[in-house]
Amino acid sequence: MISSSIFMHPATLFILGALLLPLLKRIHISLQKVVLVVIPVLAIIQIYHLPESFGVTRYMGFDLIFGRVDKLTFVFLNVFTIMALIGSIYGLHVNESGQHMAAYLYVAGSLGVTLCGDYLTLFIFWELMAFASTFLVWYRKKKKSIEAGFRYLLVHTAGGLILLAGIFLRYKNVGIEGLRFEQIAAEGATLADYLIMIGFMLNAAVPPIHAWLPDAYPEATVTGAVFMCAFTTKTAVYVLARAFPGFEILAIMGAVMTLYGVAYAVIENDARRILAYHIVSQVGYMVCGVGIGTAMAINGACAHAYAHILYKALLFMGVGAVLEMTGKSKLNELGGLYAKMPLALIFTVIGGISISGFPLTSGFISKSMIIAAAGEHHMVGIMIMLLAAAVGTFLSVGIKLPYFVWFGGKSTEECDIEAKDAPWNMNLGMAMAAFFCIALGFKGHLFGFNWLYEMLPTPVEWDPYTSYHLSETLQLLGFTGFGFYLMVKILKPKPYMSLDLDWFYRKGARVFMWFASKPLNAVNEFADNVWNRIGIRATMLVATFFSWFDKEAIDWVIDGSAQSVVNGGDHLRQIETGRIQQYIGFAVALLFIVLIAVVLAV
């Protein structure tokens, strides 16, 4: 990093930008669009001038570290700020300031998590991400989106509470040093550490706590989904790589993720839901790499996160353009658009071959590192699972998705959908992402894999362009393409949505609502009736008794005692004449009476 006096947190740019957007829109809509581009550009420049540590402050006895920069941090900062620029350009046609504010605050939360050096700071930005991204779902303003947004917020709130519980327990066990966000050893991990891991895993969409992703992302706004596919899960990959490298459970669950997401993507009908399931699958590669924990595996996880953000955003932008121009996203309702939206077709195909790991694309140079790391670590079963998932990826996203959206066996004349190419800014955003997908895959010093590899946490000694790897990849892709040709009728999309584990909390919520509105409400009404008929009367009787007791007993005793004192005082006043000879006579008489009593007693 280049030492500099620039200490402003990159998240501050986006927070200030979000606050300014409504005001700028009131002045002129063009000012809002200028800021939407300028802020990410400034952030891209700024991350190259951040010192290794900044924003360290002490609050209520805790050391808060808002800025900690190393190579692991920088690779994520780099792609996050690039993605913020691409997403902002893609969404320039949206005049609604609220969407842009939510996106900017979402990016700010992600950057804050990436730069933080302690768990308290992490939690603050973690929750900012969750709440800001919820509005990207709600801003679609449809009934399904509102419901999906509430489910999304509920799940992430629960995940945040699990994370916070882990942080508190870690502080209790270790003390203030336990709040530093650093690597945790697998051998000595405690319940607190595993609670923190679960909180991170929820954001990474690790099954069985993954269903919020395919539930919410397809219901987000067109531009909102582009941002959401890039930040939440990849920020989770970063924190897992920072805190839990080498935890074998992550390697196993990551491998399961790759197959789980692909299996659902193959049978899904909605284009954005297919891509959402593929986030689960592709993030599985990254989680698996973190779990393997070797230098190559961590490098592979970081490189794949970098590549995935760009090609997944490109795919979401492509199908988002179709949704924007046609109002449709279900494959069975599309087809024959190849002549009406040719640019979106080209860009989506580039995204599809990149995610499939075609040579000369970004996926080829990143995914292979994780698979090779599994082989070097003698995890043969996991390596086979990762290769099988690669086949399913090409089948579902590389072939099925573009075929049924743009072709589907229909000619342009048979397509009755009114459509045209998306606005210029959407095409520009897709072109930028497509450029990175291709440029990262070329073997060159400026834009090829060396440029990405040089940013990775440890020095890279890996060449993906070996004859063995090329042959293996081309064989897998070739046989997969042939398989699609044979099974195209079987894979034809059908108008239904697959059930996933979100079924349990969807139905569970309905059961809870029924329980709350029927039995629980009946019990509440019964208790109200009992209270009204018996409780209030009993309370009034008790109150009446205490009122009588206060008036007739307590007041009688106190008032009677006071009256006796007053009467005694009156008698004493009558006795007190003020004549000394009378007082002496009374005293002598009293003395004689006492003496007589003593004599008689003796």
What pLDDT shows up at residue 5?
45
- The CB-side HSE value for 469 (13 A sphere, CA atoms) comes to 19
C-alpha 107/C-alpha 133 separation (Å) is 9
Low-confidence ranges of the chain (pLDDT < 70): 1-7, 409-415, 443-449, 505, 509, 512, 516, 531, 535, 546, 548-588, 590-592, 594, 597-602
In contact, 448 and 460? CB cutoff 8 Å: no
Q: At what angle do helices 424-439 and 71-90 cross, to 10 degrees?
A: 150
C-alpha 84/C-alpha 234 separation (Å) is 14
| Residue 387 Cα to chain centre, angstroms | 29
> In DSSP terms, which residues pair with 118 in a beta bridge?
180
SS3 string, 22-88, reads: HHHHHHCHHHHHHHHHHHHHHHHHHHCCCCCEEEEEEECCEEEEEEECCHHHHHHHHHHHHHHHHHH
Q: Is the dihedral of CA 191, 194, 196, 202 positive or negative?
A: negative
What pLDDT shows up at residue 586?
64
**Which tokens hold the place of 233?**
């899960």
Q: Where are the domains of the chain?
A: 1-239, 245-494, 519-601
Closest CA to 270 of 325, 322, 212: 322
Could you say which DSSP state residue 463 is in? -
Closest CA to 96 of 233, 223, 2, 272: 223
**Which tokens hold the place of 52?**
């290794």
Find the DSSP H helices in 92-221. Answer: 97-115, 119-138, 143-174, 191-203, 212-216
Cα 223–281–347 angle (5° rounding)?
A: 45
Closest CA to 457 of 46, 76, 116: 76
What pLDDT shows up at residue 139?
95
Q: Which residues lie closer than 8 Å to 189 by C-beta, 6 or more apart?
A: 247
What pLDDT shows up at residue 563?
61
Q: Which residues lie closer than 8 Å to 531 by C-beta, 6 or more apart?
A: none
What pLDDT shows up at residue 592?
67
What pLDDT shows up at residue 507?
72
Question: Where do we find the tokens 């007739």?
Answer: 552
What does residue 428 show for φ and ψ, rounded to 5 degrees?
-65, -45
C-alpha 102/C-alpha 21 separation (Å) is 11
**Which tokens hold the place of 41?**
């550009």
Residue 171 corresponds to which amino acid? Y
Closest CA to 371 of 296, 270, 421, 480: 296
- Per DSSP, the three-state class of 97 is helix
C-alpha 139/C-alpha 170 separation (Å) is 37
